[in-house]
Amino acid sequence: MPEHLKIALAQFAPKPGEILKNLKTALDFIAQAAEEEADLVLLPEMFLSGYCAPDIMSKLKETREGENLGRLSEFAASNRIAVAGSFLEWDPIKQSTFNTAVFVDDTGKLLEDYQKIHLFDQEKEYMLPGRRLPTFRYRGVDLGFLICFDLEFPEPARSLALQGMQVLLVPSANMAPYGPFHRNFALARAQENHIFVAYCNQTGVNETCEFVGESCLVSPLGELICQVTREEKMVSGVIDTNDISRSQEAYNYLKERRCGCLEPII
């Protein structure tokens, strides 16, 4: 039996360091998505702190048990909608900082988390990479996370697809001059793995970066289900998991790949 999800992408411009203002913006988009009967709303990378200079971001760490994530969970539950996005996490047990994506379901429960594996540029100076590529199920659909720079590598998306993932959620903060890169990678990851890709980017300009927006939802057939350019805007689209089998009718990359049959190069 086919499963459907209505996924909303909340593209906005978080203000660097203004956590409470950014949280309010996120909650406003979540409320809008709930009114439009979305099942899930995806927020950008580091939607609470904004993506800015490392010395600023190092002071904006949150814990997953903190008040702001708690408000997000309560709001998700009261609006009966799932919420996903990434934030700058301080792990008091490991005494380390991570770029962590969380999936809060429509009861406010933290269903799964993912810590960014591929750290971009100066991120290596103040955070550690994650070591897990989990998949999880929500309303009968198997999902997984990558964050921004992760999308530029084929291996993690392929690994998730081989675990049965059907929808890849990608919170992002892609900036100029890398504008068209992520759109191309989203299309490629969707087609080569027979998956949906939900990609939500930051937009706007701050003191260090110009973010390019271009959030989109891509089908396994390489079709853009919905998209937005650079404005602050929420868009949504419905996925039908039947499209996964349709994309495999002419070819099945997961089945036909031949990774272990080549002779070593001497």
The β-bridge relationship of strands 167-172 and 141-145 is parallel
Rounded to the nearest 10°, the torsion over CA 94, 95, 98, 104 is: 70
* 98 Cα distance to chain centroid: 15
Beta bridge partner(s), residue 164? none
Residue 24 appears among annotated catalytic residues: no
Instruction: State the burial class of residue 225 (Cβ atoms within 10 Å of its Cβ: 0-12, 13-18, 19+).
Output: buried
Alpha-carbon separation of residue 155 from 133, 151, 229 (angstroms)? 11, 9, 28
User: Which of 89, 112, 116, 200 is the catalytic position?
Assistant: 116
Tokens 């079709």 sit on residue: 223
User: Which of 148, 200, 209, 216 is the catalytic position?
Assistant: 148
Residue 59 appears among annotated catalytic residues: no
Residue 209 appears among annotated catalytic residues: no
User: Which of 45, 89, 112, 123 is the catalytic position?
Assistant: 45
Element (H, E) at 153: none
Tokens standing for residue 258: 């031949």
User: Can you point out the beta strands (E) in the chain?
Assistant: 4-11, 40-42, 82-91, 96-104, 110-115, 135-138, 141-145, 167-172, 196-201, 203-205, 210-212, 216-218, 224-227, 233-240
Active site positions, annotated? 45, 116, 148
